[in-house]
Chains A and B, each alone.
Chain A
Amino acid sequence: MTFPLPIVLLPIVLFCKGDTLMFTEMFTDLKSASRLLLEAKLAPVQGTRFQPTGFPDLGAAEYRLPDGTVMLLVESPQSVANRLEATIWDTANKTVVKELQGIPYVEVYDQSGDFLTNSLLEAHRLNSNYILESKDDSFLNILKQELEIAPDKPLKFECFAKLLVKYDLNCLLHGLFLAKSEIAGGRYKMPRALSGFIEAHGVEKVVSGGVKLDRINAKGDAEQGAGNIPYHRVEYTAREIKAYFSLDLAQIYGYSLGDDVENLLIAIALWKIQKFLENGLRLRTACDLEVVALNVKKPAGFELPSIEVLSEALPKLIETAQPAFANPAITKVTYIPKPKKKKGNGATGNAPDTEAVEG
């Protein structure tokens, strides 16, 4: 004869297994979806004005909808990518945040052994000139060998994806373009799976300004920063500000990396979004936003896990996926500058970022 579990114990059992259950269900739900779409309604923390990103020779990126509504690109996809990448780096301690300890990336040191940079901080990730344009070509050789590059053979994108998991799996989320001619003629391009942007709907300009006062000599030399200098300032108000995020699940599943790595990539992407929305919305001095509402547009019915739940689950997910990483997870290289060439004959340098990849 069996006895039912005492009622008092049941919630405890469920609580202990809660995270695992939730995550298993979450990943199962997402398996049938091709993409995850999120929309966050934002508002200035104080007041109604905000300062958008500025573009060279253009200022703020205003554009119009076909019906004439004035729109404003508050944060471009490139900028949001940078901000999402920055969420996992602990600047004070020069390491990844504790939740993501154990993930693979490439660290760069100078010849005296001092830390220079790493693939998480570099604008072009693994395609950084400090990693691939160094006299120390150890990592370049790793790429060549493990990608099994052969002339007149098709590219092996699954192989490329596995290599990225091994050395810096964040490249799978944010994209990578190995622009060197030595690496299959620069054909290895990985579009970003995680993307986002912020835009404002129905904007109006708020023009203000002032004068920088010089208490000693009002007519001092302005070029040296002296004298009274008038300045302009343009801020904006908007009917609505929204952040949009897209996680391309089909792309992640397409690399056949296995459940452990796929689940980890999804969890990291969600963690980055949540962290950015929680702590990263002070975009500029005069642009401090907060989330008013966060909606999942696709897949219908999906519940976004909170940052606490994700933070607790990530170390376990990293541990599970560890066999796919390099051992040790952090690959160290030394940057030794190459002598400057007189005429370019092969060094292609960094080609446009993955934003420029066209399907």
Chain B
Amino acid sequence: MTLNLKIWFLAGRYHATDWNHQVNEGVLEWPPSPWRLYRTFVFSYYRLPERPDRSVLLGLLERLSSVLPHYYLPPTAQGHTRHYMPVWKEGENCKTLVFDTFLALGNGAGSEDAVIWMTWPGLVLSESHRRLLAQLCERISYLGRAESWAELSIQDQPSLGGQKAFPLLEAVGGTGTHTVKVLVPMQEELAKLKSQTLPPPKRGKARYKIPQDILSALELDIGDWHRQGWSGIPGARWVAYILNDPPKQSESSPRKGFSLAGEQQSESSPRKGFSLAGEPAFARFALSGNVLPKLTRALSIGERFREALMSWSKGHVLFSGRDPENLDDTGNPLPVQGHPHCWYLSEDVDGDGFIDHVLVYAAKGFDEKALKALRDLKKVWSNETSEGELQTILIQLGRVKDYATTLESRIPGVSPLIAKATTWRSLTPMVLPRHFKRNPKLDPASQLLIDSPEHQVLSQIRCLRKHDLLKFSEPPGWTWKNHILVTQEGFDGLYPWYAYQRLRQKGNGSHAGNKAYWVEITFPEAIVGPLALGYAAHFGLGVFMPCLKKWQTTSEVLSADEKIG
């Protein structure tokens, strides 16, 4: 026999703060812990019009806590809101900013698939316990915070499906991909506590009290634990659960895929076990502002990021790109060679034409000073009236090789710019560094006209390859002809090339006029991003996105060539 509980989230959302976190950290408790559920049962018991004896409830809770439940979880996506709460404090009216993080479940409000199943394998309840449990379930209107409208019911015929979570101790062979910790009330834990001699009360705290039974432990107010100085919850234990596939997280979470160096990594992170022992080479920021900048402003955003990071790092060479120990004749620092300095690459993850993320990438990795500047960066600003201040949220810090997966197996929440793909296509147009000669010669190796747009793309690729930023091998007899498509038409129709800002406000860099081109490159084998080519490539021009679509036909290439000519 198995006890099956159906928890249907009517509003399609689940709001609940993890026990080990403050509400504004934006960390959710997922899956809902048995501790939370059993406390909700106690809450419900005290609202029954005709309450059965307390011993019946105690018996029910003892039975439930004697078995670790299994979960069957629906697909989820994380989102959040922020609002100010009016507060009366020390004789003043003030306000405090509150984050409300939630999980969207199934198909949203009212959908039949926003359901969690909890099962207690082998648990058989007596008639009185089962009747009481049914009564309690009927009286529960939410689970978690009050917005998590929920309907609970005991089911004889469950329709189990979705992601399964079960205690790690029960896993044979470890079929799951990652673990989470779940707070569980345990009778053994309470019994063990009772057998121990409690230490004297801490200074300024009340005496420790051990709850008499599991119901008393569940009834305890959090304030009481704090007053007695408990570091945990008496009568509860964290149990490791294994999930059989990674949870899907959306792009809009304030802490999506959070894996900051120096911070404890979330147990539910898709990259559990990933060590930041090596130096991180990329930092990914989410942007927040009343109106996000258009993709056409990618160059400006790149420059603003560089200025802000130079300011925070007091002109660190990784951000400035100029070596203070290598001066020219006039005493100015010379540009560093080999592209080890940062790239500031804009992203448009949802394809709406607005920049929502920025990837700061340093091929050789960041040092401690650079990491501090990256962590300190909270906003970028602009002197232009049309572009206001942008809030920046550091959401990822890591090494490219740990995150570079193919598009098919890409982990949601990870930058697509650092994917592994064969075909890459312009996200922002490329400005050529050199002018196209009137009477060009043919490059025999590549079969491309020297200094033609395609040839310049190839030169840039060779340059990156020379500095070990791109790694691939060319099969014998393979040439680049027909593997580099350059066009002025664009690929997605979002904005024409001339809508993009194509000149840096400050700084040098050779460029051949104002024209910009869209490029698609098919490499002989999959390469790992990021990839940016041409003038101002470090600042967001000529950025490439991986794509699945195969190379166009030769006629399409030729017609594109004609247009360029």
Chain A residues engaging chain B, CB cutoff 8 angstroms = 34-35, 37, 39, 54-59, 61-67, 69-71, 73, 76-78, 123-124, 129, 133, 157, 175, 185-187, 191-192, 195, 197, 199, 201, 205, 207, 222, 229-230, 232, 234, 242, 244, 246, 248, 250-251, 253-256, 297, 337-341, 344, 347, 349-350, 352-359
Provide the residues of chain A in CB contact with B93, threshold 8 Å. 129
CA distance A65 to B104 in the complex (A): 6
* Interface contact B85-A353, CB-CB below 8 Å: yes
Stretch in B141-149, B178-186, B536-544, B551-559 with 4+ CB within 8 Å of A: B141-149
Say yes or no: A73-B81 contact (C-beta < 8 A), given A39-B110, A59-B290, A347-B90. yes
B289 interface contact, C-beta 8 A? yes
Nearest residue (CB) in B for A185 is: B223
Say yes or no: A350-B87 contact (C-beta < 8 A), given A175-B146, A187-B223, A254-B47. yes
* Interface contact B88-A191, CB-CB below 8 Å: no
B125 interface contact, C-beta 8 A? no
Provide the residues of chain A in CB contact with B290, threshold 8 Å. 54, 59, 232, 234
* Interface contact A359-B140, CB-CB below 8 Å: yes
Say yes or no: A356-B108 contact (C-beta < 8 A), given A234-B291, A350-B88. no
* Interface contact A359-B39, CB-CB below 8 Å: yes
Nearest CB on B from A285, distance (A): 16
Provide the residues of chain B in CB contact with A34, threshold 8 Å. 138-139, 141
B10 interface contact, C-beta 8 A? yes
B51-90 interface mask toward A, CB cutoff 8 Å, 1 = contact, 0 = none? 0000000000000000000000011111111111111111
CA distance A340 to B352 in the complex (A): 51
B459 interface contact, C-beta 8 A? no
* Interface contact A63-B16, CB-CB below 8 Å: no
CA distance A345 to B391 in the complex (A): 36
* Interface contact A355-B91, CB-CB below 8 Å: no
Chain B residues engaging chain A, CB cutoff 8 angstroms = 10-12, 16-17, 23, 36, 39-40, 43, 46-49, 74-93, 97-98, 100, 102, 104-110, 138-147, 149, 151, 221, 223, 248, 250-252, 288-291, 350, 352, 385-386, 391
Contact of B77 (CB < 8 Å), options: A65, A73, A341: A65
Nearest CB on B from A204, distance (A): 8
Provide the residues of chain B in CB contact with A192, threshold 8 Å. 146
CA distance A286 to B412 in the complex (A): 34
Most buried by B among A37, A66, A191, A357: A66
**Beyond A54-B290, A71-B79, 13 extra complex contacts between A and B, CB < 8 Å:** A55-B81, A58-B80, A58-B81, A63-B250, A66-B248, A191-B141, A192-B146, A234-B290, A244-B110, A254-B48, A297-B110, A340-B91, A359-B36
Provide the residues of chain A in CB contact with B151, threshold 8 Å. 35
Nearest residue (CB) in A for B109 is: A244
Provide the residues of chain A in CB contact with B78, threshold 8 Å. 63
* Interface contact B92-A340, CB-CB below 8 Å: yes
Contact of A340 (CB < 8 Å), options: B90, B98, B251, B386: B90
Nearest residue (CB) in A for B74 is: A66
Nearest residue (CB) in B for A175 is: B146
Contact of A66 (CB < 8 Å), options: B76, B97, B144: B76
Nearest residue (CB) in A for B47 is: A254
* Interface contact A71-B104, CB-CB below 8 Å: yes
* Interface contact A359-B49, CB-CB below 8 Å: no
CA distance A339 to B92 in the complex (A): 10
* Interface contact A76-B83, CB-CB below 8 Å: yes
Contact of A205 (CB < 8 Å), options: B84, B109, B252, B352: B352
Provide the residues of chain B in CB contact with A339, threshold 8 Å. 91
Say yes or no: A157-B46 contact (C-beta < 8 A), given A62-B252, A355-B145, A358-B36. yes
